[in-house]
Amino acid sequence: MYERRRMWANAYLQDKFCAGFRTTSRCEGVNAFVKKFSKTTHTILELVQNLELVVREYRNKELLLHLNSMNSVPVMTTGLTSIEQHAASVYTREVFTDVKKQIVQTVALILISKKRCLNTMVYTVEEYEQPATRIKVAYGRSTGKIHYQCNFWRKNGYPCRHMFFVMKSEHVTTIPDALVLQRWRLNVKSIESYVERWAGTSEAGFLLRHGALHTASHRLFLIGAQKLSLFRKALNGVLTLCRELELEYRAFDNGGGKGR
Ligand SMILES: [Zn+2]
C-alpha cells in the first residue's frame, strides 16, 4: 500500500477537491501537493497525517483566495471592457484569471462566415495558423442562448474563446446567466457559510480558525524574513498583537467565557 502511495493519495485528494467538478488546473495543484509530500514521508501513519495536513492547507488557501476575490478589484486589460468587467464581478478571482485568457484569445479567431436563420446567428470561425479547424457557434438573438461545437465548456464550465468571440460580435456586454455556473460564482453567501464555520465553538471551529491564521501568516513570514528591518517590524507587530489578544482572551475567560 505504501509503495503505491502516489496513486491512492491522488484518489483521496481528488475525491475531496475535484469530485468530478474541479478544473484540470485545480487537479494539477493537488498533484503538485501530493508529489511534494509523498517524497518526504516514510511510514503510512506519517503519510495519513500529512494527507490531513495537505487537505487543511489546501482548504485554507482556497478560503484566502476567496476572501481576496471579495476584497480587491482587478485591472481590466483585454480591451473588451464591459464583458471583462462583468466576468470579474461574477467569477471568483481564480476562475476569472482563466476566463480572461479565453477573452484575450478571441483575437486569434478569424471570422469565416456569419449566417442568419430567423433569430439565430451562426458563426463559423477558424483559429489563426490552423485554417483546417473550423468551429461553428450559434447565437440566439432573442433567447441569448449560445450553442457551440467545441468541448471546452463541458470540460471547464466557463465560456471558451469561441463563445466570447460570438458575444463580442453580437455586442453582448454581459455573459449570459446560464453560462455562469454556480460553482464558479463569486458569491457572498459562500463567504458567510465560511464565517459561520469559523464561528463554531467546537474543536472543528478551533482547527478551522487555527488553520486559516496559519495560512494567512505565510506572507508575513515570507516578507518579514527578507531584511533585518522588516523582520524587526514583523516581530514587534506580532508581539504587540499577541499582547492585545492575550488581554482580551483573559478578560473573556474571567468573564465566564468558555475559553475558545
Ligand atoms: Zn470553444
pLDDT at 30 over 50: yes
Cβ burial of 189 (10 Å; 0-12, 13-18, 19+) is exposed
Is-contact 127 111, C-beta < 8 A? no
Cα angle 198, 201, 207 (rounded to 5 degrees) comes to 55
Residue 104 alpha carbon to ligand 1 centre in Å: 13
How far is it, in rounded angstroms, from Cα 128 to Cα 125? 10
Residue 127 alpha carbon to ligand 1 centre in Å: 11
pTM: 0.54
**Span 64-88, pLDDT tens digits:** 666 666 666 778 888 999 999 999 8
- With cell 463567504, the residue in question is 191
Residue 237 alpha carbon to ligand 1 centre in Å: 50
Residue extents of the structural domains in the chain: 5-71, 81-184, 188-254
143 against 257, higher pLDDT = 143
User: Which residues fall inside 5 Å of ion ligand 1, going by CB?
Assistant: 150, 152, 160, 162
Separation of CA 73 from chain center: 15
Q: How confident is the model at residue 8 (pLDDT cuts 50, 70, 90)?
A: low
